[in-house]
Amino acid sequence: MEGRKTVGLAARDTTGFLSPYSFNLRKTGAEDVVLKVLCCGIDHRDLHQMRNEIHGTKYPLVPGHEVVGEVVELGSEVKKLKVGDKVGVGCIIWACGKCCSCKSNLEQYCSQKIFTVNGTYEDGTPTHGGFSSAMKMCLDYILDTVPALHPLRSYLPVLKINNIILCNIWKKNTSGSFIGSIIEETQEILEFQAEKGLTTMIEILRAGYVNEASERIERNDVRYRFVLDLDLAGSNLK
C-alpha cells in the first residue's frame, strides 16, 4: 500500500541528469521511521550509480546516501526515537537483526540488508535516497595448505565476517572492509565528534545546482564536502 506523496531528484537514464520526480512512499510499517530530508551529501558514488557505472541501476533513480533529516512519523515498534529528532541515514536502511553479522553489530554485512539507494524492500517497493537473515554457511577460519598458485575467491563466501584464511607461507594477512556498522561504529564516531566539538568543512549547495555539482565532482573541482539543501520548492529545477 502507498503512503504519503513526496518529491525528489531523479536520474532517468545513464546521462545521470537529475530533475524533479514525484513518487509515493510505502505505507509506514511498525519498524519504519519517516523523515523530512533537510540536506544530503553528494559524492562520486552517487555519480556512478546515476550513470549505471556500478551497474544494475534501476531507473528512475533517486540518489543520496548521506542524509540528515527530521523525524516526522514513527512506526508502532520504534522506541529509540521521537518526532522532531534530528537523525542521519547512511548506505543501509534495514538489516535482518538475526544473522551472525547483525548479532555482532556488523549489520553492514547482513546478507539481507537493504540499501538506501537502488534497493528493494521486502514488499517489492524500490528504495529512494536522500535526494528528496541468516548466512548460508559460516566457517570460523580456513587453513589453506595448498603450496601451488590457486584462486581464493571460491573460499571467501563461506568464511564468517571478521575471520581469516590462514596460509602456510609468508606469515601475511589480507583483509578488507565495507562501510561502518550503524549501531556501533557509526554511532561511536558521531558521539565522539559531538563530545569533542568536531565539525566538518562543507559547501552547501541549493537543490537547483545539483547537476552543476555533479560536473564539478567529475572534474575534481571540490574543496569541501558537497551538501545539498533539499528545499526543492525554492529551486529552479524543471
What's the pLDDT at 160?
72
Sign of CA dihedral 219, 220, 224, 225: positive
In angstroms, rounded to a whole number, what is the distance separating the alpha carbons of residues 46 and 106? 24
In angstroms, rounded to a whole number, what is the distance separating the alpha carbons of residues 234 and 53? 31
pLDDT tens digits for range 157-216: 667 777 777 776 666 666 777 788 887 888 898 899 999 999 989 999 988 899 999 999
**DSSP characters over 90-106:** -SEEE--S-SHHHHTT-
Confidence band, pLDDT 50/70/90 cuts, at residue 133? very low
What's the pLDDT at 187?
87
What's the pLDDT at 186?
87
| Residue 215 burial (10 A CB sphere; 0-12, 13-18, 19+) | exposed
pLDDT tens digits for range 10-56: 999 999 999 988 888 888 889 899 988 888 999 889 999 999 998 78
What's the pLDDT at 236?
56
Q: Are residues 41 and 227 in contact, defined by beta-carbon separation less than 8 angstroms?
A: yes
pLDDT tens digits for range 65-121: 999 989 999 999 999 899 999 988 899 989 999 998 899 888 888 999 999 999 998
Looking at the predicted structure, is the pLDDT value of residue 141 above 80? no
Strand ranges, E, within 75-147: 86-89, 92-94, 114-115, 139-144
